[in-house]
Amino acid sequence: MISINQLTFTYGDGTFRLRIPQLTLESGRSAVIVGPSGSGKTTLLNLIAGILTGSGGELRVGNTDVHRLNGNERRLFRLRNVGMVFQDFQLIDYLSVFDNVLLPCRIHPSVSVTKELRERASSLLDSVELASFERRSVTQLSQGERQRVAICRALLLSPRIVLADEPTGNLDPVNAERIVRLLLSETAHSGATLIMVTHDHSLVPHFDLVIPFDQFLERTPGEQKHHNLGGGAT
């Protein structure tokens, strides 16, 4: 279960603050975050993943208060529990499609590349119709294909939480639908919690919970001038 209580995060120079009073998501459920650009959706995913730490409040994943962990513990927490699909894929150019999917094993301190994991990687690629692309360089793929590789990478180690930041942003409606179904079926199969950020309202009905994200970002008191949010927050 993911539970948030009075979670706050202050951006850069302190002009803006993200404040989420209360949010609860049961294990194995799926949630979709919808909201305008710059409303703090990606920031929330980064907070849940432990990439960013809040300035106040509580964020618990199961029994773990993520923000009470130190940097190394948060990294291990992320490695063991979270699968991430980034907005810009963030694939490694010098690795093949197959090696990109296997990357979490190669950087994991206690997981080695076993035959089972290779078969799982192949199976995941097969499910997104990229089985014949295994040996190709990711630089030879289209945007949509790259996105599918990134999803396979996130799902490889069957994480407890899958955080997907606009995974369908570069896909046509048919492929977007297919990706969402894949994410939902894989997370449902492994009992993982899925949180996805999207602008595509047509995908919202697939999810158990919708989190409208348009009232959590606020200007900090005393700040009069208009400021841009800058990179990183959507």
Partner 1 sequence: MKNALYLAWKSLLWHRGRSVTILLSLAITIWLPVTVRLVLDQFRHEISERANATPLVLGAKGSRIDLALHALYFDTLPPADTTMAEVESINHLSPTNVAAIAIPLYVRYRTQSRPGIEGSVIVGTSPEYFEFRRLNIADGQMAALPGECVVGCNVAMRMQLHPGDSILSAPRNAFNLAGDYPLKMKIVGVLTQSHSPDDDAVFTDVRTTWIIDGIGHGHQELNTQTDSQLLLKNSTETRSVTANASVLPYTEITADNIDSFHFHGDPASFPLTAIIVVPETNKARTQILGRYSSSQATAQCLKPPEVIDELLSIVFRIEQLAWVCSIAAGIVTCLLLGLVVNLSMRLRAAEMQTMFRLGCSHMTIAKLHSSEIVLLLCAASVLAGAAALLTLRFPASVLRSLLF
What would the two tokens of residue 67 be?
Answer: 């923000």
**Contact present, 4 and 59 (Cβ < 8 Å):** yes
Closest approach, Cβ 219 to partner 1, in A, equals: 28
Distances (CA, A) of 101 to 44, 46, 61, 157, 168: 25, 21, 25, 10, 18
Tell how strand 161-165 and strand 82-85 pair up: parallel
Alpha-helical runs (H) found in 13-163: 41-49, 71-81, 97-101, 103-107, 115-127, 143-155
- In the complex with partner 1, the residue whose CB is nearer, 40 or 104, is 104
Cβ(152)–Cβ(138) below 8 Å: no
Q: Which is nearer to partner 1, 91 or 152 (CB)?
A: 91
Q: What is the DSSP letter of 220?
A: P
Nearer to partner 1 among residue 29 and residue 41 (C-beta): 41
Beta carbon of residue 232, minimum distance to partner 1 (angstroms, whole number)? 12
Using an 8 Å Cβ cutoff, are 81 and 60 in contact? no
Shortest spacing between CB 75 and partner 1, in angstroms: 5
CB of residue 129 to partner 1, shortest distance in Å: 24
What does the binding site for partner 1 look like in residue numbers (CB under 8 A)? 49, 51, 72, 75-76, 78-80, 82, 84, 86, 90-95, 99, 103-109, 112-113
Choice between 104 and 167, CB closer to partner 1: 104
Residue among 145 and 165 whose Cβ is closer to partner 1: 165
Q: Which amino acid is at 72?
A: N
CB of 93 to partner 1, least distance (A): 7
